[in-house]
Structure 1
Amino acid sequence: MKRRDLLSFASFGALGAAGLLTGCGFELRKEPVYHFKTLALTGFVPHSPLAQELRRQVQRSTVRLVEDPNRADVIIDAEREVRDKTSVATTAAGQITEWQLRLSLDYSLRTAGGDILLPRTELRLTRDMNYSESAALAKEQEEASLQKAMQVEAVGLLLRRLAAVHLPN
């Protein structure tokens, strides 16, 4: 087979695959569309990394963050935010070989008037991480990276839930 024929065949194959994907309704995820204009965050601990990530992501959208909950269309009440790490596996000598990282957020959504938009919801994320004493510094950096990834994922889940909220008339 000549090179030109091979390239022609490959391009027709790529066009065929693209045609199949458009026919099945596949579409990349878009930025969520919110049905409210202002948002307030309450109950987060001071300098919470999760709240900071949430603020950063909300600033990219059309929603405006307000400090006063009485002036917000929607209020996120963080009831509990916990990050922890537990050992999952150890050697016979008692050395830890695997950790489980957890991020938990309990929150509810309400309006300034007190209408409950979403009752208390639990958001739980876990990641398993192998551990070795000989690579402690690298594993520390890996843990920080996994914590950051869980934080970004939690904020993404929360924002998608916010996009499903419709204010009462």
Structure 2
Amino acid sequence: MQRRAFLVCSGSAMGLAGCGFALRKAPNFAFTTLYSGLPESSPLGVELKRSLQSGGKVRVLSDGRQLNEAQVILDVLGEQREKVVLSRNASGQVREFQLRTRFRFKLRTPAGKELIPETEITQQRDISFNESAVLAKEAEENLLYRDMQSDIVQQVMRRLAAVTEL
């Protein structure tokens, strides 16, 4: 019985290895130091900094005096959250909102060479609204904003990893 279980497990492992399956690894960046002017109060900036430093290969500088130590500069051109009414009922009460998050940035060297041109990443989610569950809907809204923020951070990380040479 043990032999059969071993054969089944090893057969599954070989099948996964043969198909090219691999767990996602931390990206390799072409730089080791990055300057970012994102404010410390920005939740997106905090998550982006944490994601960049989690691999242990990139040091994120945020002090303006360290600007000349950085190999690349991440210029944040805008970070914006919006809440737009999508629909109303017959009496004019809001029934549905659309939440949007926009993040605009570019990446350049200290000498001014543009590595990633001005880019805008936009995320949006629809959320229903009910006056009798305002607190629950507010919590759901915050959760959706956090989810969009994580998506944006992952997209920025992939774009930064796509830079192959400085």
Query: Which stretch has the larger CA shift, 118-127 or 68-77?
Result: 68-77
In the alignment, the residues of structure 2 paired with residue 33 and residue 65 of structure 1 have an alpha-carbon distance, to the nearest angstrom, of 15
Q: Residue in 1 aligned with 2:127?
A: 129
Equivalent residues in 2 for 1:41-120, closer than 5 Å: 41-42=36-37, 44=38, 47-61=41-55, 62-66=57-61, 67=63, 68-120=66-118
In the alignment, the residues of structure 1 paired with residue 40 and residue 161 of structure 2 have an alpha-carbon distance, to the nearest angstrom, of 26
In the alignment, the residues of structure 1 paired with residue 132 and residue 98 of structure 2 have an alpha-carbon distance, to the nearest angstrom, of 19
Q: Residue in 1 aligned with 2:159?
A: 161
| Selected match of 1:40 from 23, 30, 35 | 35
Q: Which ranges in structure 2 are unaligned for 5 or more consecutive residues?
A: none
In the alignment, the residues of structure 1 paired with residue 36 and residue 101 of structure 2 have an alpha-carbon distance, to the nearest angstrom, of 18
RMSD value over aligned CA atoms? 2.0
Q: Residue in 1 aligned with 2:21?
A: 26
- 2:144 alignment partner AA: L
How far has the Cα of 1:83 moved from its partner? 0.5
Offset from partner CA, 1:60-106 (integer Å, 9 cap, x none): 12200122322211111011111011111211111111111111011
How far has the Cα of 1:18 moved from its partner? 4.7
Query: Which stretch has the larger CA shift, 45-54 or 135-144?
Result: 45-54
Q: Is the 8 A contact 1:71 1:112 kept in 2?
A: no
Q: Is the 8 A contact 1:75 1:109 kept in 2?
A: yes
Q: Which ranges in structure 1 are unaligned for 5 or more consecutive residues?
A: none
How far has the Cα of 1:29 moved from its partner? 1.5
Q: Residue in 2 aligned with 1:147?
A: 145
CA separation of 1:60 and 1:94: change in aligned 2, threshold 3 A: same
Q: Is the 8 A contact 2:34 2:71 kept in 1?
A: yes
